[in-house]
């Protein structure tokens, strides 16, 4: 006789009771119903499909967007003694077939797939022959054109309904607006689904916005105040290194994490952070999915995210142990202008899409009505130079053409050449004396890119070629020699890419098919950013209520702990006197800078600044020549 869901929960997870709506979701699945589960970050989504899949006979197919997320869940299941297989990219076809055979005959309970794998005929054929008890679509917002992380490959998930019509399906996400939820149900062809939505409210997290010109000072202050662990989110690899270096220099224990470091180094840094050997991890935004660390006390966004969905999902990695935690965003007006430029100015309009597509066909001399299934090598830099095209806009155009099956690009296109000088400056000058043929190119790289001794830096080979009047081949050869002689580390990526034309050339007609969809996607990105900026600048309504309202959830009461709630109360006379007395106690020992005073006095910064201003106006204290406060 099979065990009950609670017995499975106790046996493998060690819990005697389910949390939130987990039991309701599991019950619906066991009754063969389709389910849309909208559960907050940290709400135990994986238990919702793992438990019923173990209860039922057969195997569960799980589609998940990130390799790291897939591997993490598979490793966790294996540690529990549950048989699971991960079928991600990069596995040779022979091994794929062996793994699929294991799923059919080896008593496995879970097969994890990336959505791209569903496009392979061999995968579809073998899945049809399996005894599938459940289909789980994790991070299901990726299937929606309205979702913040739309991935065209996720549309393949709907094929599973046709391949396995008898299997119930569950879609899970932590960030879905009403429009996204409807889109998920429609795309997956759900039949009379059970929709389960737990409150997204995280009552233990204080959401705060800090408007700061000196963002690093504020970050250092926040990181110094915590005794557990923290995540700092930035948008670029280079900034992960710079901010991590800054925090370490200020006495904090920090490391950085991004997609460019080796797998071995990733595991080492992640484990150090998970074991609290390192307190702070500075990471790019993909970090954190599938990582279960309950004691994160602070999540700090050092740059503005492109949507509330992304922000809320990342901020929700704080306080999973249900203890008090903070999710802060440190920003300023310069950041706001920068984020608009970064996210919106690089979106190609219909006219530019048509221009690039037309030039692409001309570049390869493809005649009208021809070109289907033809494959070429494209030197991206040369192409942009030939037609005087903006490289970023052109890059995004090629991505859109790829997403809409006009062309197919190889995956290496997104990689860049990187350089970091690892020898000392003295060693570099000695090397130059012995290798004069390298000097011009090496010095041009040094003059063009600041911080190249400290950080792995993306470089433009074509730019260096133009500045030195040397061929790109020559530049690459010199960099390769410097790498071999251990003067630099150099990751080479030439600018050629494989491009396959998937449809015959029809110029504007080809683009018109999906032009309105692209325009709608761009409008959505603009709306998402507007919503994010509105949230940042709304200092009148409780932060939690703003966030919940965005996801269609009404909150009747304020959280009482965000920056808006804690700044609402006007400082009374008793409080002002108490703060002033403590300030004067410190100033009697000698002059003190305002930042130091704020750190010394255990009150809200806003209230301390009001007390300082009052003492100044009353002539009790003054500012000296080096901007310190002292008693008159």
Q: Where are the domains of the chain?
A: 5-197, 205-332, 346-414+497-525, 418-492, 569-631
* Run of H or E residues at 74: helix 67-79
* Run of H or E residues at 421: strand 418-421
**CA dist., res. 353 & res. 347, Å (int):** 10
- CATH code for 569-631? 1.10.10.10
**CA dist., res. 528 & res. 518, Å (int):** 15
- CATH code for 205-332? 3.40.50.300
**CA dist., res. 91 & res. 85, Å (int):** 12
State the 10-residue block means of pLDDT for the chain, 632 residues long. 85 90 94 92 85 94 83 87 84 83 87 86 89 93 78 84 92 86 92 90 93 90 92 91 94 89 84 93 79 89 92 91 93 89 86 95 94 87 88 88 84 66 87 90 89 82 85 85 89 73 93 90 89 94 93 87 80 80 87 81 77 85 85 84
Decide if 5-197 and 569-631 have a common fold.
Answer: no
Q: What is the DSSP string of 552-619?
A: T---SS--SSSHHHHHHSPP-HHHHHHHHHHHHHHHTTS-B-HHHHHHHS-S-HHHHHHHHHHHHHTT
Q: CB neighbours of 142 closer than 8 A, spacing ≥ 6?
A: 65, 115, 149, 150, 151, 154
- Give pLDDT, residue 75: 87
> What is residue 311's three-state secondary structure?
helix
Cross-strand pairs, 137: 63, 171
Q: CB neighbours (10 Å) of residue 618?
A: 10
**CA dist., res. 305 & res. 319, Å (int):** 20
- Give pLDDT, residue 297: 95
> What is residue 442's three-state secondary structure?
helix
Distance from chain centroid for Cα 305: 9
**CA dist., res. 44 & res. 53, Å (int):** 15
E strand intervals along 8-108: 35-38, 59-63, 84-87
CATH of 346-414+497-525, one of 3.30.465.10, 1.10.357.10, 1.10.10.10, 3.50.50.60: 1.10.10.10
Q: CB neighbours of 508 closer than 8 A, spacing ≥ 6?
A: 354
Could you give the C-alpha distances from 11 to 74, 78, 111, 144, 230, in angstroms and in order?
Answer: 18, 14, 21, 36, 32
- Give pLDDT, residue 568: 62
At 72, list the tokens. Answer: 């993490």
202: left (phi over 0), alpha (psi -120 to 50) or beta: beta
E strand intervals along 266-394: 280-283, 296-301, 325-331, 375-379
- Given this structure, which CATH class describes domain 5-197? alpha beta
- Give pLDDT, residue 32: 94
What does R_g of the chain's alpha carbons equal in angstroms? 28
At 308, list the tokens. Answer: 């509330």
């Amino acid at each position: 006789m099979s065990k009950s869901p609670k017995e499975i929960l106790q046996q493998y997870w060690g819990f005697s009771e389910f949390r939130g709506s987990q039991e309701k979701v599991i019950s619906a699945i066991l009754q063969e119903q389709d389910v849309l589960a909208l559960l907050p970050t940290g709400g135990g989504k994986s238990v919702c499909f793992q438990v019923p899949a173990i209860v039922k006979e057969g195997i569960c197919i799980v589609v998940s967007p990130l390799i790291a997320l897939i591997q993490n869940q598979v490793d966790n299941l294996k540690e529990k003694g549950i048989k699971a297989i991960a079928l991600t990219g990069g596995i040779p076809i022979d091994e794929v077939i062996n793994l699929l055979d294991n799923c059919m005959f080896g008593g496995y309970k879970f097969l994890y797939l990336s959505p791209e794998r569903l496009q392979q005929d061999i995968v579809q054929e073998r899945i049809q022959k399996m005894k599938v008890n459940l289909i789980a679509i994790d991070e299901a917002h990726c299937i929606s054109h309205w979702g913040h992380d739309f991935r065209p490959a996720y549309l393949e998930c709907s094929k599973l309904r046709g391949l396995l019509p008898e299997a119930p399906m569950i879609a899970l996400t932590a960030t879905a607006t009403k429009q996204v939820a409807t889109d998920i149900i429609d795309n997956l062809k759900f039949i009379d689904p059970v929709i389960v939505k737990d409150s997204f409210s995280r009552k233990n997290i204080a959401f705060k916005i800090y408007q700061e010109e000196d963002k690093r000072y504020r970050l250092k202050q926040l990181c110094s105040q915590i005794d557990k662990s923290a995540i700092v989110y930035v948008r670029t690899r280079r900034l992960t290194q710079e901010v991590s270096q800054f925090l370490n220099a200020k006495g904090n224990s920090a490391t950085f994490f991004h997609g460019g470091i080796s797998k071995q180094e990733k595991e080492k840094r992640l484990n150090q952070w998970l074991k609290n050997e390192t307190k702070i991890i500075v990471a790019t935004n993909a970090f954190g999915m599938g990582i279960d660390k309950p004691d994160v006390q602070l999540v700090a966004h050092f740059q503005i995210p492109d949507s509330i969905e992304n922000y809320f999902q990342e901020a929700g990695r704080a306080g999973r142990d249900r203890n008090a935690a903070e999710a802060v965003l440190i920003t300023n007006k310069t950041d706001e202008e920068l984020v608009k430029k970064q996210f919106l100015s690089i979106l190609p309009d219909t006219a530019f899409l048509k221009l690039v597509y037309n030039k692409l066909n001309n570049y390869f001399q493809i005649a009208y009505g021809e070109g289907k299934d033809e494959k070429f090598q494209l030197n991206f830099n040369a192409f942009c130079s030939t037609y005087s095209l903006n490289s970023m806009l052109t890059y995004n155009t090629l991505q859109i053409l790829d997403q809409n099956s006009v062309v197919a690009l190889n995956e290496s296109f997104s990689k860049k050449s990187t350089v970091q000088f690892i020898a000392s400056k003295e060693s570099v000058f000695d090397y130059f004396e012995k290798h004069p043929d390298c000097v011009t190119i090496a010095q041009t790289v040094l003059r063009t890119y600041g911080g190249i001794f400290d950080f792995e830096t993306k470089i433009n080979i074509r730019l260096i070629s133009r500045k030195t009047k040397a061929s790109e081949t020559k530049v690459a050869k010199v960099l390769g020699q410097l790498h071999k002689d251990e003067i630099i580390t150099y990751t080479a990526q030439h600018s050629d890419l494989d491009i396959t034309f998937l449809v015959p050339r029809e110029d504007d007609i080809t683009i018109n098919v999906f032009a309105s969809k692209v325009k709608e996607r761009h409008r959505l990105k603009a709306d998402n950013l507007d919503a994010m900026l509105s949230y940042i600048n709304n200092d009148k309504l409780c932060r939690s209520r703003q966030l919940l309202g965005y996801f269609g959830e009404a909150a009747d009461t304020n959280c009482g702990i965000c920056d808006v709630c804690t700044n609402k109360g006007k400082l009374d006379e008793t409080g002002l006197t108490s703060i002033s007395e403590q300030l004067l106690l410190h100033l009697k020992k000698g002059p003190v800078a305002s930042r130091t005073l704020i750190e010394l006095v255990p009150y809200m910064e806003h209230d301390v600044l009001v007390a300082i201003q009052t003492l100044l106006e009353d002539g009790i204290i003054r500012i000296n020549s080096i901007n310190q406060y002292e008693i008159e």
